[in-house]
Amino acid sequence: MKEFIDFTIAIILYTCVFYKKWKAKGKDRLLINTTMYIYLTFVLYFTLMPIITSLPYLFNHPYTPMNLTPFIDVSLRRGDFTRQILLNTIMTIPFGFLFPLITKKNLIKTTIYTFLLSFSIEILQPLISGLRSSDITDIITNVFGGIIGYIMYLVCKPLTTKIQNYIKNK
């Protein structure tokens, strides 16, 4: 229920700010930007929400520093590390695919922006909730997912260009 407030704000932001701006750039831009917006909203849902209702309690719990030992869960066989690695990799594949469609950026810039997205999430998770922690492994696997997404973008680039042109001319 708390997430409902965050989703409502995301819908209002989209409707009042982004929709008009993106629609003015053409149907193809509207489709790609809206897809990225929906994707990022769900990333926030799975990693940070509820955000708005957590703000008053931001400093009511200790901040747990980031675990800086890469893949420690794997080496110690702790928890469901395989699932976590897989989900963190999968989570940013769409970002690596959509980001260059929107910005026309190359692999290096896409990798940097994937890192910044992941780093921001990992820093904010324990700040927003005392129940969440941050881990360098998550950043590494998120960046790897972004790279996979970019490779998928390169493979699909001829198809996405045809689709964009079709939408643009429709």
pLDDT (tens digit, 9 = 90+) per residue, 88-133? 999 999 999 999 999 999 999 999 999 999 999 999 999 898 888 8
Tell whether the model's pLDDT for residue 170 goes beyond 80. no
Tell whether the model's pLDDT for residue 87 goes beyond 80. yes
What is each CA distance from 153 to 98, 107, 159, in whole angstroms?
A: 8, 10, 10
Tell whether the model's pLDDT for residue 137 goes beyond 90. yes
pLDDT tens per residue, range 38-78: 999 999 999 999 999 998 888 788 888 888 999 998 888 88
The pTM (predicted TM-score) of the whole model is 0.91
> Could you tell me the pLDDT band of residue 3, with boundaries at 50, 70 and 90?
very high
* 47 exposure class (CB count in 10 Å sphere: 0-12, 13-18, 19+): buried
Tell whether the model's pLDDT for residue 35 goes beyond 90. yes
Q: Whole-angstrom Cα distance, residue 105 to residue 92?
A: 16
Q: Which residues pair with 32 in a beta bridge?
A: none
Quote the number of domains for the chain.
1
Q: Whole-angstrom Cα distance, residue 150 to residue 142?
A: 12
Instruction: Enumerate residues 6+ apart whose C-beta is below 8 A from 50.
Output: 2, 3, 5, 6
Q: Which of 40, 44, 56 is nearest to 6 (CA)?
A: 44
Specify the pLDDT at position 133. Answer: 86
Identify the domain containing residue 111 by its residue range: 2-169
